[in-house]
Every structure is written in C-alpha cells, then in structure tokens.
Structure 1
Amino acid sequence: MADHLDLLLGVVLVAGPVFGTSPCSFDGVIALFRFCNFTQIPPIPNSTETLLLSFNYITTVTATSFPFLQQLQLLELGTQYTPLTIGKEAFRNLPNLKILDLGKSHVDFLHPDAFQGLSRLFELRLFACGLSDVVLRDGYFRNLSALTRLDLSMNKISSLSLHSSFQELNSLQSIDFSFNQILTVCEDELKPLQGKVFSWFSLKANNLYIRVLVDWEKCMNPFRSMQLDTLDVSGNGWTAIITENFCNAIWGSKVSSLILDHHTMGSGFGFQNIKDPDENTFAGLAQSSVARLDLSHGFIFSLKSLVFQKLKNLKVLNLSYNKINTIAVNAFYGLDSLQILNVSYNLLGELYNSNFYGLPGVVYIDLRMNHIGIIQRETFTFLAKLQTLDLRDNALNSIDFIPSIPTIFLGGNKLVTLANIGFTANFIQLAENKLENLAELYFLLQIPDLQILILNQNRLSSCKPQNLPSRNLSLQQLYLGENMLQLAWETGSCWDIFKGLFNLQVLYLNNNYLNFLPPGVFSDLIALRGLSLHSNRLTILSPNSLPANLEVLDISRNQLLSPDPGLFTSLRFLDITHNKFICECELSAFVHWLNQTNVTIHGSPTEIYCMYPDSFVGVSLYNVSTVGCDIEEVLKNLRFSLFLLFTVTLILFLMTILILTKFRGVCFSCYNTVWRLVFKDQAQGTESDMYKYDAYFCFSSKDFEWVQNALLKHLDTQYCDQNRFNLCFEERDFVPGENHITNIQAAVWSSRKTVCLVSRHFLRDGWCLEAFSYAQSKCLSDLNSVLIMVVVGSLSQYQLMKHKSIRGFVQKQQYLRWPEDLQDVGWFLDKLSQHILKKERGQKEDGHIPLQTITTIS
C-alpha cells in the first residue's frame, strides 16, 4: 500500500520510558537494576512487584538470597555475565511470583528442587541456559500447578524423555523445544503429556528425524491423545518422504495449525533428485482437521495434481518463497474450505484458466513477486467468493483478465494503459507502474463504488483536455504521490481533475514537482481532512487555496518563504518542517502564530528554521524575535511624554521637509544670496593653472540648444561676466578644418575637467563616445577623476550599461543626473561647479554607487 500520511486521523503515539531513565532505580513498585554490576541480590523493598536484575554478575541464588517479597510477580534474572548457580528452593520467598525469566544465563548448576514453592508461577523462561535432558527427566518442574508457558528453546536437550510429573502440569498450554538437538520424538517419550491441550508446541530447528533412521512402527504417534492448536516443526529440513512419514505417524491427532516452513521438499529449479510433494505427502493429515498449513521457504517446483486433496478443512495455505513454476490441473482439488492462498515469491510466469480449479471458497489469493507476464482471461472468473487479488511486483502489461472483485493490488507491474478494463472494485492499487496520461485517472474515477485509489510512483504527466471530470461520490482516499502533475498542470489543462469528489477525505500529492496550485483545484473537496503536499516546490500558498474543512496538512520540504497563518486556522495537525523561511518582518505574523497556536506542529523546533538572511541561517523560528516589527506594540510601551515629544518633533520635521521640498528652489536662491552678501569679498574663482579651459563640455550637436540655455549661459564667462568658468565646447572652440579626433584630444588634454552630457543623442553619436573614451584615458593617465558624467533624460541603468566605455565608468565611478524638477536646476549647477573646481588628490576613488544625493525627483 502507498505511504501513510504521517499525521492523519489524529493518532499520536506518545512513547515514554517505562522504568525511568536511571539504570539502577526504584519507584516503589518497579525495581530496575540492570547493568548495575551486582554480584549478589541487592536489598529489595517489600512493595516491589517487578524486579529486573539482568545484565549483572550474580553467581549464586539460594533460599536466603531474597527477602520475603509477597508482592513480587515478575523476576528477571537473565543474561548474567557469569555462570549462575541456583540452589534448593531458591525462590521460596517469592510465593506470588508469576513470571520467572532466567533466559540467556548460563546455568552452571540447577538444583532439582530449585522451583519448589512457586505454586503460582505462570511462565518460566529457561531459553539459552545450557540445560540438558536432565531438566526434563528428573522432575525439575513438579508441583508447578499453575505453569502455563514453558520455554526451553536454545538449550542442549537431545531427548524428550519426560518425567512423570509433567502429567500433573494441568495448566500447561505452551511448550517450546525449538533450537535444541532433539533427533527423534516418539510416543513413549511424550506419554506424560497425553490428554492435554496445547496452544503452542514447538520442535523447530532440531534436525528432527533427518539424521537417524526411524522405525515408525515402534516410534508411533508422539502426539497421541493430544490436541494442538499450533504445531511448529519448521526448520528441520524435511523432505517430502520424511513429511509423508510424519503425517502418517500422527494420524488422528488434532492439529489446527501445522508449520512446516524452511523445508527441503521439492526439486527446486533445475534439479530432479528431490521430489516435489504429491497426493500421498499430506494424506496422513486427513483426520487431523488441519486449518492452517505453512509450507513456505522451500524448493517446491511443481504443484502436482491432487496434492492437497485430503485437507478438507484447510482454510489457510502458505506456499510463499518456494520455486513454484507450474501448477498442475486439479492441484488444489479438495480444498473446498480454503479461504487464503499465498503463492507469493515464486517463479510463476503464466497463469492458465485451470490453475485454480477446486477453490470454490477462496477469498484472498496472494501472487506477489512472481514473474507473471500472461494471465488467461478466465483464470479468476469462476472463483465466486474471491474478494482480494494481489498481483504486485510482476511483469503484467495487460490486465483484461481482472474479475469483478472488491480489492485489487496491481502495483509494481509494467502497465502503460488501462483501456477497456471493466473495474468494479472499491480498492485499487496501481502504484509503481508506467501510467503517463491523466486520462487513466479520469477513467478510474468513473468507477461507481471506488473508495481507495493508489497511483503512487507512476509517470502521470500528460493531459487531454477533452476528459470529463468525475462525480465519484464514494471515493475516500486518493494517492497520487511521486508522479509529475506539474508537467500537466503547467499547460493549463486538467485543473478539474478533482471536480465532483465531494466525499474525498485523504489526498496525497507529494513529490509531484509542484510549484503552484491551480486556482480552485480543491474547490469541490468539501470533505477533505488530510492533504499531503510534502517534497514539492511550492513557494507560496494563495488565500483560499486549501479546502475549508482541512484538518491535517503536510507541507514539509517545500520552499515556502512567508506563509500566511490564516491558511492554517482550520487545522488540527500541521507539518511545515524543512522549508525556506525568510526571517524578516514579513514573517512576523507567522512566527507569532507559531508560538501561540493550538494546532499540533509536527517535528522538533530545530526542523523549522530560517534560510535567509545569512545571519539567521539555521535558527529555529521559535527563537526568532519579532520585537520591532509590530509598530503598535512598540508605541504602547512608550511613555506618554515621550510620545508627545516624538509627535511634536515629527510634525516640525515633516513641515520642514515639506517646505524644503516644495520650495527648495527658492530656498536655494535665498541661500546663495545670503552667502554672496556675507562672503562677498571671498568670492570663489578659478585658480590659474596649466590648463587653458576649466572644463570641456562634450555633448551631441543635437542637444546644443538645450545645453546652451540650461548650462552654458549660467557657467561660461563669455556668456555672462558673472559666470566663473572658461569652458570649451565643439561649436565654438574646435578649430575648423582640423581633424575631429585631434580637436577632441586637444579639448580633453587642455581642460582641467571633461563634462560629458550623456543623453539619448549622445549614446548614438560616435564622436561623443570617442570623446568619452579619451577622457577616461586621461583619468587613467593622471590618476585623477577628471571626467564628470551627467546623465540627461530618462536613461535607465540598463541603457547606460550597453556601451562598454560607459559601463566601465558606471561600475567604478560616481555620476550626476540632470534634475527633473526645474526648481532643482540652481542647486544642480552649484554642485556641478563644485565638481569642476574640486582639486583631485592624484588617486582613484573606490566608489561605484551613483551620486543619488544630487538626483532630484519631482
């Protein structure tokens, strides 16, 4: 089945320590003394009910080792690191002991009367204690009238010659002799057990009957007059002949469940020296009323005809993990009562119409992990009571044989299409196939009684817009994880795939590469309670994008940046771990909600962390402070006087800013007038030096009229005596007839500064760009910032960066921008004058940020 939604149905398992955290502790009822390096029994309080003393170095237990503990019911003395000696009546001071565990302690000496006085002992665990046949033969278990379970597995017992006292153990129901060295079991040895009813009797993994020749006429029936609910004789490596002899020997003994797994019956693949079971192998079980037979983990290659004909009462047959390649006609004949058939993990390649004859009552057939590629159409149609068919992990590319049954498992095959298949099931599993077209999903959603549909790990990625949406009112769970729905949805098609699914309760859309959710895609899912969107690429969830009644949401391992907490108000359980949260003020509402919500948040706080900015990477959202993000909260904490002062200051500041902004031109003119009046004797002028011109103004000839009116008339001395600069520009100062490049070079090198007025015309004028390059060359030669760049008009950074010479300047130097508001022109001209007059220090400036301080916005 598909993965389960970790957080669905509100089941939260809280596992806590049973005995506390300390290895040596006592809470008044339970004494936990494991791994305490004790060499003898420590003092035990009278109120103790459970005493755990395993993993210590206790060597001896005698009648005086324990104080009188009337309340003690469970004693664990197993797994001592030293050999253990148990003396006479060692546990007599524990009259109400019910469970005694000595397992995995090497018992060096066990007194025959060691267990005397334990009249209420219910379970005795003596597994892996190194015990021999003596413990059975010499009456060690006499007077244990309440003993129900006896575990003697993994010892060194080689014979089951039971002491007559076993006949007195009237409560004994379970006995385990597995993993010993018992080579034969005959009637005389188990005679003290005759007349008893056992729920469990195990002789597993003893090499029973395979290393000795058994005279079955003398051995006879070891389980005569017994009734066994489960008899485990698995792991003994029985061949078909040994199995036949054993079944014949126990003729008439009632065995409800017979476990024969890990056998050697069958020829296997490619061998003929060991025969497969035939009609005689299990004939001896005809009178045993066997209801469950386990023949798994063997080498059966062929199921022969009539092999199970005598097992009239058989209800469960397990043939998994064999080498079954062929099923003969009537192989299952006689199994009229069989309900469950497990033939998984075999070598079946084809199934034919006759393979399952003789199974009128079968309800479940498991055919997983074979190599089935072909199945005839009528193979399952006559199985009138069949409810579940499991064909997972085979090689099917067509399923036209599917019968009308409620439950179908078809995952792990090679299905590409489902065309013309008459499904009537209410549970369909089609995971791990090769379905690509969403038309298959539309088709499946038309099945009237379908309740659960699993399509995980397919290739659903394409869509045909002509598909009609479903109105399936029975579907409750839909699994579409690990597909590629993003490829279909990004084309704008199949956004109605969930239309009409009014009763859907669980939806998996994990691992579908989703970077958006189509608008209204969940609008019809009014009953949806659990939604899995984990491991996608979602960066944002739009308002109303989730179903209104959603209770469980898994949106972990996406790329959510600043989720809106209003989306999660209806939830009871949320997994939002491992996203990429941006820990800035935009996230403050979510952080506040995260710390206050009653919604159960899955995962530890360390799994909900920041990814930006760098200083917060890995910091848990639970540790992020929102102080300073909420203005109202900050204002509430201010004193009234401080608030009043702040308000007055703010009003005065805003009024000042408003006046300066609105009348900044007038203010600047007044400032200049005052400056001239106060410092009229210190008027700034240009100093005589080696340069012929103060500045060379480079601009496009198409801009001459504007430049003349906007700049030259206010700066050049020849236009007005009050101006301060001797300027050079092409229209007046270039020598007529002279080479234009020569004129440019002369203008650049004979001027202290070069002012390039970069406009749209300038960028299209090659001579202007050439002059710009020469001015840059002078900058590099003199190591001075002699080039002043003024951007005129609405030129963007991108338009400037398209020209290589200008791009290099913009990236490394400051530049000016002509103001958009006329009242800023005076201020601009003053700033430009200062840059022309500014003396350089003979080195480059390390700045590349545009000079925004002289950029004005109207």
Structure 2
Amino acid sequence: MASLTYQLLSVTLALCAVHLISGYSFRNCIEDPYPYGQSFKCILRKESNLSAVIGDLPQTAVNLTITINPVWHIPSMSFVNVTNLEYLRLDHNYLRKIDPFAFQNLTRLKSLNVSSNNISQLNPYVFKDLHNLTYLSLTNNSLKQLPVGIFSTLLNLDTLIMRQNFLTNFSGIAESVSHLPKLRVLDLCFNNLTNLKHSNASLPKSLTTLYICRNNLLTLGCHQSFLGFIQLLDLSYNPRLPTMAFQGVDLSHINYLRLRSTSVKVVEFLNISNVNAGSVDFSGMGLKNDTLLTELCTSLKGKVKSIKRMGLSNNGIKNLTNYALQYCPTITGSLDLSRNNLKSTGCFKFLDKHTQIKSLNAEHNHITSLQSCKTENMVYLNHLEELSYRYNRILSVNAYAFSHTPNIKTLKLNINTISFLHRKALKGLKSLEMLRLDNNLLTDLFNDTFEDNVNLQTLNLRNNRIAVIFNGTFLSLRNLTTLDLGGNKITHFEQSGLDGLTSLSKFYLDGNNLKEIDTSLYRVFQDTLTVLDLKSNQIYFLHKVTSSPFMNLSKLSDLKLDGQRPHGLSVLPQNFFRGLHSLKSLYLANNNIYYLAPDAFDDLTNLTFLSLESCCVGVAQLQPGIFKNLRNLNILSMENMGIQTFSKEVFGNLTKLHKLQLNRNVMQSIHFEILDSLPELHYLDIRNTPLSCTCKNHLLQNWTLHNRRVQVVYLYNMKCPDDNQHNFYNFKTNVCYIDLGEYLFLSTAIVIFLFTVTPLLYVKLYWKMKYNYYVFRSWFSDQWRRLREQEENCKYDAFISYNTSDEQWVIEQLMPNLEGNGSSFKLCLHHRDFELGRDIVDNIVSAVYSSRKTICVVSRNFLTSEWCSLEIQLASYRLFDEHRDVLLLVFLEPISERQLSSYHRMRKVMLKKTYLQWPGSDCTNPTQAQELFWNQLRRAMRTGSRFETEQNCSEGREKEGRTEHVDARTSDENYYLLP
C-alpha cells in the first residue's frame, strides 16, 4: 500500500511539474501533424521515467508509440492523463517490470504492443481495465509462464501474439485463453513447448489460427476435438514432432496446415489423419525426388480429385521429370516450387496433367537460363496468370521463352543476373500487365522487345545497366501507366525513344546519368504524367534557361530533382517550373544551389509539399517574396540550408503552412510575430539551431512556452549554444522583462500630457524659453558676464527696435532729434552699430543690455516681424523681471484694439507703461505737436520715473495712450535684413 501511494505521488508530482508549462511543446514526444492532438511518437529518448516521457501529453491522445527508450518500469496508473488511448506501442524498450494496474483506466485501448523487452513475469491484474483490447503482442520477452486469470477481462481480444518467449506450459496458456469468446489468432511460435497437453480447458470456438512453429514439440497430446475449430495450423520447424502425434486428433476443419521441417512422414500422416489432403502444405517435408513425389501424388489421388494449392517449396528438389506430378490430383490453383535446387523448369512439361494451374512460383532456385519453348508437342498453360522466377541465377532469356504461357498477367524475372533478353523473349505475351526485370544486368532494349505487350501497365527495369533508350523501344506500350528506369546508366533518349507512352502516369528515372532534362518529356507526356522522378542524376545549370522543360506537363503532381551528382543543380533558373500549375510535391534537397531566382516558384500555386533540405551552398540568401504564390503549401522542409534570418518578406505568405522544418540552420534569433502570422502552423522544428539565450530571443522564449497552437519539437531539450548547461526554454530573462501593460499606460499618459501641455507652453512660454536659451548660450560663452558689465556702464542711451519699412522715419526724424539738435543721446541702431559677422540674436541681446532704454517704434509692420517681437520680448523681460524702467513704446500710426488683441506681450507692457503716439501730418498743428513729442521722449530717456502723456491731434496736445493687451505670439515672417 505504501508503495502504491508513493507511485501515485510520483505520478502526481510529475504531472504537476509538467502542467506548470502551458505551451504546445512536449518534452520527449513528437505529435504527428495529422490528425492534430491524436498521434504521438516518443522514440529514441534518453528518459527512463515513463511519467516524464508522457506526462505532458494531452488527454486527446489516441495513438501513442514509445519505442527504443531506456524505460524499464511501468508504474501503476502511468497513463491516467491519456485515458483516451486506443493504440499503444511499448516495444523495443528495456521493460522488465509492469506494476499491477499499470494500464488502469485505458478502457478504450484496442491495441497494445509490449514486444522486444525483458519482461519475465506479469501480474494477474496488469490487463484488468483493457475491456476493449483486440490486439496484444508480448513477442520477444522472457516469459516462462502466465499467471492464472491474466486475460480474464479481455473479452474482446482478437489476436494474441506470444512468440519468442520461454513458455513451456501449454496447459496454462490454454486455461488463460479458454474463456476469450472473440479470440481468433494465437501465435506461440519460438517458445519451449513440448506438447499440447491441457487439463479440462479447451480452446475458444472462435479461434481459427494457431501458430506453434519453432518449438520443441515431441507430441501433441491434446484431446481429440481440441483442434476441432482450427482452420490454419502451423506446426513447422518442430523437428522431433512424429507422424503418430496426429493419430486420433480432429483436423477436419483445417484448410491450411504447415508441417515443414518436422519428422512427419507425409504419406503416413495422410493415411492416419482426417485432414483434407488439399489443405496440407507439403513444403519442407523431404520430397526431393520423383519416387517420393509419386508416392505423395498417389496417396493424394485416392483422397481428393483436385488440389487448389500445392506447396512443394524447400524440399531440395533438383529436377522434375515429366512424370513427377503425373499421378497427382489436378492442381487448379497455385504451385509453389520455391527454395528448391531446380536448375531448369524446361517448358513445364511436368505439368501436362495440370494445365488448369493459375499461379507458379519458382523463386529461390538455381535456374540459369530460360529456354525457347516454341516447339511441337508443347504443353500450354493457358490458365496461368502469374509466374515468378525471382531470386534465381538466370543469365539469359531466349526467344519465345513464354510462348507456352500466353495468358500470364504478371511475370517476375527480377533479382537475377539477366544480361541477355532476346528481342523475341516476350513474344506472344499480349495479356501481360506487370513485368518485373529490375535488379539484373540488362544493357540494351530494342524496338521490338515489347512489341507484343500491348496491355502492359507496369514495367520495372530498375537497377540494370541500360545506357540509351533507342527509338521505338516503347512504341507498343500505349497502356503503360508506370515505367521504372531508375538506377541505370541512361545518358539520353533518342528522339523517338519515349514515343508510344501515351498513357504513362508514373515515370522513374532516378539514379541515371542524365545531364539535362530531355525535351521529349514535355512533348510526349502532355496530358498524362503525374509523377516524375529525376533524383540523383547529373543535371545542373550555370545560366538561365530559355524555356521550362516542364512547360506542357499540366498534370504533373510529384517532381523529384533532389541529389543531383556530383555538385547539384548549382542554379535554379528563372521560369524553370513554368507550367506546373498542378504540382503538389517538389523535392530539391541536396543540390548545392547557390542562386534561387526570386520567381522560381511563382507558377507552383497548388504546391503542398516542398523539400529544400541541404539544397544550398553555405548561407542561403532567400529573396523576399520567393514563396509569395505558395499559399497552398502545407509542409516546408528547410533543414540545413544555412538560413540566417527568418523574415516576414520571405515566409509571410505561407498562410496554409502546417509543418515547418528549420532544424540545423544558423539563425540566432527568430521574431515570434512572424511565426504567429502563419495561421495554420502547427509543427515547428528548430532543433540544432544556435538560437542565442539573450534578450533578443526572450519574446520567442515566452511564445514557445505559452502558445497553444504550434508544437516546437523537443523544445525542452534545446540547449543554449554558448552554455550547454542551460536550456533555451528557461534561460533567465529578468533583465529583459518589461511590464507591457505598465509600459503602455505610462507611454500613453506621457503622450496625452505632451499633446495637452505643448500647445499651452508654446503659446505662453515660447519666447521666454527662446530668450532663456540664448541667455544661457551667452552665459556659457562668457557673454553673460560681459552683458552685466555693459549694463552697469551702458554704452548706449537707447536701443532702437524698428522694422526696416520704418527705417526712413528713424533716420530722418528719430536720429536728428535724439542725437542732434543739442541732444547728447547715443543711440544703438542695427544697421549702424551691430557687429558684423556676429550672430543676430547675440547682437540683439547685447544691444538690449548695453542700452539704458529700448525704444520700440511700433507700426503694423513691426507687429508682424518675428525679430522685432524678439526685441520687445527681451526688453519686456528686463522690465518685468528686473523692475527697471527700460522700455519705451512709440506708435507711428494708429492701431486699433482689434489689431493689438493678438499681441498679449505688448498689451501687458502697455498696462504698465504709457506709450507715445507720433503726431502725423493730419494733426491741426503738427509742428507744435511733434516738438512736444520730442521733448517728452527726451525727458523719458533721461529719467526712470513713470509718466503719462496723451497726444490730442485736434488740440495739439499729448493724448493719454490706450492700454491694449498684446498677444506674445509672433509670426515667423518679416525678418529685416541688416545692411
């Protein structure tokens, strides 16, 4: 109980640890792409803990394969997280212990394979919950006996395989399966059974197939009716099993019985047994000469009139005379003469009494030649449809070798050493549908070799030594659909070499010496060809091709061009695949391509599979848009291409991509947004890619761990390239982490604040900020100190700020009245006193602070001037900030309040300072008014006290000035030029 509690706790902890990670990747398994979430393979992993292997699999798993792993123990309740399993493979591991209730809750399981392990014993309750199990394999373990009741709950079991164990007690086996009402197949081959003795148990009536081959049976020892329902019984390779073991045993239902390599004497057996003689396979029963065969045939003839299947293989027969099978019942079905020592079959004259035969197997003999059979007194096997001479030593096939079998449909001459095939060897075979001549030494085919084979559909000539296809070779094969010429030495086709193949659908030319793609391909196969295999030829390109060799292959769906020898395709020309609108699969792997044209795949709009593994030289520079038309692509394999960057410009259009293999490339980072933009992506393999464990991949790491759509193959085994002690999925990202929500909130708040405050600051503080900037710049250049010194010992009495349009008034009126006529004022005028070569703003700042007063000559033009505005701004700052009476306003012309409303800085000055209005010529007494104007201006310049004047033009006296608030906003226009 404590042990069970510990195991449950271990499983729970493992599951909890796994569920901390919520992504779609699995630690030790790979999910098959189709159907999603149902089939998983956990192969060649280094994990010995089963819970760690499958703990992160989803509940939807239906098919699970766990093979070639160091798993040695299956604890109880190991599969609680995958209770929907229907097919489970646990073969080829190191299993030696399976706990009770190991398969608990797997009530839907139909197939369980635990073969090729080290299991020596099983708990009686190990299969307790497998009520729907139909297939169970315990092959190749170390079982010596079965516990009582081990299969008691497997009421739906159909097939039970326990071969290659050490079982010795057949009675226990019979007891364990006796109650299985649906058991149909029981395989006990390769055990240590010595007999079939049993207690009161009987085999289930449903059992029809029983294999007990390769045991140590000395007798059967079973009850008379024990095998009464068996239809197929294999007792072969029990060398000490005697004939008398069958006496009294009911074999009446047997329709196939194998007794190969036993001590059973066939004739004696037939005499003492109630087996149907036509159901016995006589292979391997020592019938090596005519005498023994004649004896067998005589015995058979007394029991049956005809035999459907006559098995005589593995008997050591060297020769069959014309009388060897003369006394046998008529053979109406098949005759198996394979694995004997026959050197010739003649022209089948030994079958003159068996012309109804339909199938003849003469494989694995020592036949060296097929002779001509166009002679008188020929035995014609007009019903023969299948003839096989595979695995012989045939060197030559002579003319009319098959004229006595004119109606065969399948002829197998493959895996011989045929170097000579006579032009007329296949003459007369007008019904032939499949011909296999592969794996021979043929060098030439002639225009009349196949002239009679008008109904041939499949022709296999693979792995011969054919170099050239001559004109008219296939001219008669108008019904041929499959032609395999792979593995030859073909360098070219003559002009009419492929003529006649008007129905060809599948054409295999891989492993030849073709240096170019023959134009006859698209001339002959315009509307028929669906598969074209050109793998491992010598095709290469060094420049563009003028037209596509596939232009007219409108139905081609599968094209293989991978592995061109010795250096690959080199260049994939533009328009190379033009016209292949129906192509579904394209193989270009291992081709050392150094240039992929950007429009190479433009015509392949229906492509679903593209293989580019190791196709390029060094680093692959994929052009943007190279896959732009592959919107139906489902699988893209780009393993070991040297890809450095994974960009949206290259991969962005693959909207139906399901499976992407990028393993063994050189990318150091991948933008997860690109992967996220592939809506159908479900399988991503980036193993053995040096993704750096740095901040540039922290978003990718987060995506791989939390996406619920894309399986990243073996994510948790990916190591950091610069530190094999750490994994990519958990490298530290603390320094990279940014709270995106907080970041967006702060960014939004700051942007909104700036959009709100900036206009206000612009309106209120623009000039003050500009002024402070220039003051700071002056201070930084030691200008500020000099300005202060000049202020204490002012160089000028007044700085005159005016617009150039008012320059005439300044020169003709202002200067004579303030610097002449007895006045001693010294004025600063920009056209006269500004320092040449100096920055204008520095000159203005220096003028303001080097003068006791600043006189602003205000006109409409003055108001629109940016630089005049700057001058009055500087003077007003000095006025307001330093409380010095430094600013005088002189209005040259009347300006309405509406016009001044935009200049709040001037209006603010006018609220604190009285201004002077220049009396124009329209006054009643302009001379007197102007004299009064100049006296008041001079008095204002001499003093710092406040005064108020008002110029009344009609009365010739100064009128009280209006105070109007002026906006500080200024125009960027009307900047005056220095002379």
Superposition TM-score, scaled by structure 1 size = 0.63
After TM superposition, the structure 1 stretch with the greater mean CA deviation from structure 2, 7-16 or 592-601, is: 7-16
Structure 2 partner of 1:409: 508
Aligned-residue offset at 1:343: 0.7
Question: What corresponds to 2:736 in structure 1?
Answer: 629
Indicate whether 1:86 and 2:201 are aligned.
no
Provide the residue aligned with 1:594 in structure 2: 704
Aligned to 1:246: 350
Secondary structure of residue in 1 paired with 2:699: helix
| Residue matched to 1:834 | none
For residue 559 of structure 1, give the secondary structure of its aligned residue in structure 2: coil
- Maintained 8 Å contact 1:63/1:87: no
Amino acid at match of 1:477: S
**Alpha-carbon contact 2:667-2:691 (below 8 Å) kept:** yes
Structure 2 unaligned spans of 5+: 1-29, 41-62, 66-87, 90-110, 747-775, 783-979
Q: How does 1:698-847 map to 2 (within 5 A)?
A: none
Tell me: CA distance 1:443–1:8, structure 2 relative to 1, closer, same or farther (3 Å): farther
Task: For 1:385-400, list aligned pairs within 5 A.
Answer: 385-400=479-494
The aligned amino acid for 2:548 is F
Matching residue within 24, 40, 61 for 2:122: 24
* Alpha-carbon distance in structure 1 between the residues aligned to 2:394 and 2:217: 42
* 1:234 equivalent in alignment to 2:338: yes
Residues 601-680 of structure 1 mapped to structure 2, 5 A cutoff? 601=711, 603-605=713-715, 607-612=717-722, 614=723, 617=724, 619-624=726-731, 626-632=733-739
Contact persistence 1:127–1:152 (CA under 8 A): yes
Instruction: Determine if contact 1:207/1:236 at 8 Å carries over to the other structure.
Output: yes
What residue in structure 2 maps to residue 457 of structure 1? Answer: 563
Whole-Å Cα distance in 1 between the matches of residues 520 and 271 of structure 2? 66
Identify which of 421, 430, 433 aligns with 2:537: 433
Partner of 1:473: 581
User: Does the alignment pair 1:577 with 2:681?
Assistant: no
Query: Aligned AA for 2:515?
Result: V
CA distance change for structure 1 residues 292 and 131 in 2, over 3 Å: closer, same or farther?
farther
- In the other structure, the counterpart of 1:775 is none
Give the deviation of 1:336 after TM superposition. Answer: 0.9
Structure possessing the higher radius of gyration over alpha carbons: 2
Q: Which of 428, 452, 458 is residue 364 of structure 1 equivalent to? A: 458
Please, which moves more after superposition, 498-507 or 336-345? 498-507
Q: CA deviation at 1:563?
A: 1.1
Answering whether residue 457 of structure 2 is matched by residue 355 of structure 1, we say no
In 1, distance between residues paired with 2:169 and 2:631? 69
What are the residue-to-residue correspondences of 1:170-569 with 2, within 5 Å?
A: 175-183=280-288, 184-186=292-294, 187-191=297-301, 194=304, 198=308, 201-210=310-319, 216-217=322-323, 219-222=325-328, 224-228=329-333, 230-241=334-345, 244-248=348-352, 250-255=353-358, 257-266=359-368, 275-279=369-373, 286-287=380-381, 289-400=383-494, 401-403=497-499, 404=501, 405-423=504-522, 424=525, 425-437=529-541, 443-449=548-554, 450-458=556-564, 459-463=567-571, 470-485=578-593, 487-489=594-596, 494-513=597-616, 514-546=619-651, 547-568=654-675, 569=678
SS in 2 for 1:189: helix
CA distance in 2 between counterparts of 1:281 and 1:602 reads: 70
Q: What is the distance in 1 between the residues matched to 2:148 and 2:548?
A: 72
Residues 159, 182 of structure 1: 8 Å contact kept = no
The residue that corresponds to 1:822 in the other structure is none
Distance change in 2, residues 1:519/1:285 (3 Å): farther
Structure 1 residues 148 and 468, CA, compared in 2 at 3 Å: closer, same or farther?
closer
**In structure 2, do the counterparts of structure 1 residues 247 and 471 end up closer, same or farther at CA, with 3 Å as the change threshold?**
same
For the residues of structure 2 that align with 1:10 and 1:543, how far apart are their CA atoms? Answer: 28
Q: Partners in 1 of 2:346 and 2:472 — Cα distance? A: 37
Report the CA distance between 1:378 and its aligned residue: 0.8
SS state at 1:188 partner:
helix
Q: Does 1:117 align with 2:217?
A: no
Q: How far apart are 1:466 and its partner, in Å?
A: 7.6
Structure 2 distance, partners of 1:80, 1:584, is: 59
Letter in 2 for 1:380: F
Structure 1 residue 128 displacement after superposition = 1.9
Name the SS for the 1:361 alignment partner: coil
Alpha-carbon distance between aligned partners in 2 of 1:595 and 1:79, rounded to the nearest angstrom: 49
Q: Spell out, residue by residue over 1:628-653, the C-alpha distance to the aligned partner (whole angstroms, 9 max, x if none).
A: 532107979xxx9xxxxxxxxxxxxx
Aligned partners of 2:201, 2:378: CA distance in 1, in Å? 46
Shift of 1:586: 1.5
Deviation at 1:150, TM superposition (A): 2.8
Tell me, in whole angstroms, the C-alpha distance in 1 between the residues paired with 2:377 and 2:741.
89
TM-score (norm 2): 0.56
Structure 1: segments with no counterpart, 5+ residues: 267-274, 641-662, 670-858
- Equivalent residue letter for 2:512: N
- 1:593 and 1:566 map into 2 onto residues whose CA distance is 9
Q: 1:35-71: per-residue Cα shift (whole Å, max 9, x none)?
A: 5664687465654556666566555556997389332
Note the 1:91-170 alignment, pairs <5 A: 92=202, 94-111=204-221, 113-114=222-223, 116-132=225-241, 134=243, 138-139=246-247, 141-145=249-253, 147-157=254-264, 159-163=266-270, 169=276
After superposition, the Cα gap between the structure-2 partners of 1:280 and 1:539, relative to the gap in structure 1 and judged at 3 Å, is same
Deviations 1:293-341 (A, max 9, x none): 1111222222211111122321111111222222223211121110111
Could you tell me how far apart the structure 2 residues matched to 1:38 and 1:302 are?
A: 53
Q: How far apart are 1:482 and its partner, in Å?
A: 0.8
Is the partner of 2:703 in helix, strand or coil?
Answer: helix
Report the Cα distance in structure 2 between the residues aligned to 1:281 and 1:299, rounded to whole angstroms.
Answer: 24
Structure 1 residues 319, 628: CA separation in 2 closer, same or farther (over 3 Å shift)?
same
Task: Give the % identical residues.
Answer: 20
SS at match of 1:329: coil
Indicate if the aligned counterparts of 1:578 and 1:607 stay in contact, CA closer than 8 A: no
Contact 2:224 2:249 in 1 (8 A): yes
Q: Give 3-state SS (helix, strand or coil) of 2:448's partner.
A: coil
Deviation at 1:247, TM superposition (A): 3.2
The change in CA–CA distance for 1:453 and 1:206 in structure 2 (over 3 A counts) is same
Deviation at 1:110, TM superposition (A): 2.5
1:527 and 1:537 mapped to 2: Cα distance? 25
Q: State the AA in 1 paired with 2:641.
A: N
Secondary structure at the counterpart of residue 24 of structure 1: coil
Partner Cα separation in structure 1 for residue 32 and residue 171 of structure 2: 53
Aligned length: 613
| 1:33 positional shift | 7.8
Once the two structures are TM-superposed, the CA of residue 87 in structure 1 deviates from its matched residue by: 3.5
Query: 2: CA distance between counterparts of 1:195 and 1:598?
Result: 69
1 CA distance for matches of 2:173 and 2:411? 53
> Are the equivalent residues in 2 in contact too, given 1:101–1:124 (CA < 8 A)?
yes
Cα distance change, pair 68–432 in 1 and its aligned pair in 2 (3 A): closer
Does structure 2 retain, via aligned residues, the 8 Å contact 1:167–1:192? no
1:458-511 deviation line (CA, Å, top 9, x unaligned): 1444449786772432222211111122x224xxxx322112222222111111
- Looking at structure 2, the residues matched to 107 and 133 of structure 1 have their Cα atoms a distance apart, in angstroms, of 9
CA distance in 1, matches of 2:137, 2:316: 39
Alpha-carbon distance in 1 for matches of 2:544, 2:247: 74
Structure 1 residue 195: deviation in Å? 5.2
Distance 1:480 1:53 in 2: 45
Counterpart of 2:355, as a letter, is G
Distance 1:618 1:397, change over 3 A: farther
Equivalent residue letter for 2:315: N
